[in-house]
Amino acid sequence: MNDMTLYLTIALVPLLGSLLAGLFGNKIGRAGTHTVTILGVAVSALLSIYVLWGFINGTRTKFDENVYTWLTMGGLDFSVGFLVDSMTAMMMVVVTFVSLMVHIYTIGYMHDEETGYQRFFSYISLFTFSMLMLVMSNNFIQLFFGWEAVGLVSYLLIGFYFKRPSAIFANLKAFLMNRVGDFGFLLGIGLVLAYFGGSLRYQDVFAYLPNLQTATIELFPGVQWSLITVTCILLFVGAMGKSAQFPLHAWLPDSMEGPTPISALIHAATMVTAGLFMVSRMSPIYEMSDTALSFIMVIGAITALFMGFLGTVQDDIKRVVAYSTLSQLGYMTVALGASAYSVAMFHVMTHAFFKALLFLAAGSAIVGMHHDQDMRHMGNLKKYMPITWITMLLGNLALIGTPFFSGFYSKDSIIEAAHASTLPGSGFAYFAVLASVFVTAFYAFRQYFMVFHGEEKWRKLPAHHDDHHGEEHHGLGPKDNPHESPWVITLPLVLLAIPSVLIGYFTIEPLVYGDFFKDVIFVNSEAHPTLEIMREEFHGPLAMVAHSLHTPVLYLAIAGVVAAWLLYVKAPQLPAKIAATFSHVYKLLLNKYYIDVIYYNVFAKGSQALGRFFWKVGDVMIIDNGIVNNAAKLVGGVAAQVRKMQTGFIYTYATAMIFGVLVLVGMTFWRLFA
């Protein structure tokens, strides 16, 4: 099998599974549907691992070729092509492996769904194909195709329960907020096409960059802006929408309205990492603009800290993990701004495993609780769900950066990158990611203690209470007990727990400080020496653990865990008293800083008011009444007067004819003698 055939197979097999499930799902049944889709993603995952292994052992080289030309216009080719290098190979493995785990998990999670089983499998396989097309693209057009395709499928998945108003609102919100980011992204691509050598292929764009060192663009009359800076920021606006960075983050927590498997798929390895991957891929461009890098770093710092705060007041088990995702995406964005692209991609990889694990473990707890998502109804689940308990504990330990766990190596590296950076805003970024360590540990173990320890709170609930999430299932009653999930749910948890614990230790050196991303990620080490400083201080993964004993990071994480234990195990009555004492702060966090309120009242209602104004003034008053109706009235009035002349008597018409002849004669004499 040659390289082109290999890469086409990896990309297209999930699409084939999606088409079979979507078009023939009713004929092949549930078993046939999940078989063809899982088989397709499994083939893609195995081949992706084979490709990655080739880059690891040095037997595979960079591949950059067009598959076919889609459109030629004015000498410009719009092509479909693949760029497969070490970064692409890593993302291919992450996407397909996590997707495979989600596919297997879905068999158990969606078992009781009466309708939509085949449709759901078709969607998640299509999602996998879309993400593969994005990460494997060698040009901006294909990148944009994958970008929009994952957005479209996420819209379908978030609104999977389309009879539930909250789900429809959530998927519409995600769609519209991503359109805002995509508008900036499209403008950035337009600037690339207009000024970067007339090509949209990455290698051509990067080769043309030396010609644009001092290029400017006039956005406003008399004001010159750096072309590179404007392009970088516009492209990053697209990443802000797709990777849910402040202030385009509000759609992501609401995406929890979809079934839990898609929460793992969207939040762990696919859609939300697209923006981070794009910035890393465009590192040669971003390295030319300190302004853009500072902007990225500050946005990431705000997202990391302030979205983490929101996770501390959530009672929905999935929303806690969702706000954790927002915060971790902020960490990755800070690394991008610090020119530590390899660190950001390292955290993308480690985070994909432990965040998918946390989402799927949360889903397992929800299944055990008969689809009740409220943590206030849980407690002591470790007694009844030991596999879910231990895997979620491992996932949370990785999330908070426990030494030797995968999250420790990637999170600590980001904190070190922010500390080493000298760009404007790096001081605030370092403070934000450092403070977020405590916040992350607190909300992660708040969730853990509320769900798996303490009293069995469902015992105090009435039988068959409503779970308040619009599900058609009922929660546990006082005489019911939770149950461990079936093997199709617990097996993916175990398989995801393994890399969540181990993969950071074995990969930090080659990915961050080695040559894995050589000739893939470009860093101007003279202007941005962050990685060089970190490289001098790195002496191996074991030494990194020893070094952590002398930094505040580890102790902030321990403090967060201890605080959660004190408040939710030792003295569970205290959180309510603290919330009452600091009611204004609690209300601010509970209402998500009122950002949704501002968006709804300013932008949504403002757009409605503007549309209503144009409708009443432009459509009704000017067009309907002013032009159409008045024109009709004018024609009617003229016709009414002309009608009076149509008497039906011959002498009337004869008089008119004589009058007309006299007028013509008079005009003739006027011309002759005037």
Instruction: Identify the bridge partners of residue 81 per DSSP, sorted by sequence position.
Output: 66
Instruction: Identify the bridge partners of residue 77 per DSSP, sorted by sequence position.
Output: 72
Token pair, residue 438, equals 């405590």
pLDDT at 457: 84
Q: What is the DSSP letter of 462?
A: P
Nearest partner of 544 among 386, 421, 416, 373, judged by Cα: 416
User: Can you tell me the distance from the alpha carbon of 598 to that of 604, in angstroms, rounded to the nearest whole number?
Assistant: 9
Nearest partner of 235 among 294, 283, 188, judged by Cα: 188
Nearest partner of 150 among 43, 33, 244, 253, judged by Cα: 244
For residue 45, which phi and psi values (nearest 5 degrees)?
Answer: -65, -45
User: Can you tell me the distance from the alpha carbon of 486 to that of 368, in angstroms, rounded to the nearest whole number?
Assistant: 10
| Torsion, CA 347, CA 55, CA 103, CA 382, rounded to 10 | -50
User: Can you tell me the distance from the alpha carbon of 147 to that of 149, in angstroms, rounded to the nearest whole number?
Assistant: 6
Q: What is the DSSP letter of 594?
A: G
Token pair, residue 211, equals 């010609």
Nearest partner of 288 among 336, 232, 248, judged by Cα: 232
pLDDT at 641: 81
Distance of CA 629 to the CA centre of its chain: 49
User: Can you tell me the distance from the alpha carbon of 510 to that of 504, in angstroms, rounded to the nearest whole number?
Assistant: 11
List of residues 6+ apart from 80 with CB closer than 8 A: 66, 67, 68, 70, 142
Token pair, residue 167, equals 């789900």
pLDDT per 10-residue tile (average), the chain, 674 residues:
90 94 88 92 95 91 89 83 93 92 88 82 92 93 91 88 87 88 93 89 92 85 88 94 88 84 72 89 93 95 94 91 92 94 93 90 89 88 92 95 93 94 93 95 94 85 56 61 87 92 92 89 90 90 91 94 93 90 91 89 87 88 85 86 79 84 88 76
Amino acid letter at 43?
A: V
Query: Strand (E) positions, 128-266?
Result: 216-220, 223-226
For residue 218, which phi and psi values (nearest 5 degrees)?
Answer: -95, 100
Angle value at C-alpha 279, between 400 and 553, nearest 5 degrees: 20
pLDDT at 462: 76
Measure Cα distances from 302 to 151, 340, 556 in Å.
Answer: 24, 18, 19
User: Can you tell me the distance from the alpha carbon of 504 to that of 410, in angstroms, rounded to the nearest whole number?
Assistant: 7
Nearest partner of 530 among 313, 299, 293, 361, judged by Cα: 293
Angle value at C-alpha 495, between 490 and 497, nearest 5 degrees: 90
User: Can you tell me the distance from the alpha carbon of 620 to that of 622, in angstroms, rounded to the nearest whole number?
Assistant: 6
């009035």: which residue's tokens?
637
Measure Cα distances from 167 to 100, 225, 469, 471, 608 in Å.
Answer: 25, 42, 10, 11, 22
List of residues 6+ apart from 666 with CB closer than 8 A: none
User: Can you tell me the distance from the alpha carbon of 139 to that of 128, in angstroms, rounded to the nearest whole number?
Assistant: 19
* Backbone region of residue 223 per phi and psi (left: phi > 0; alpha: psi in -120 to 50; beta: other values): beta
pLDDT at 136: 94
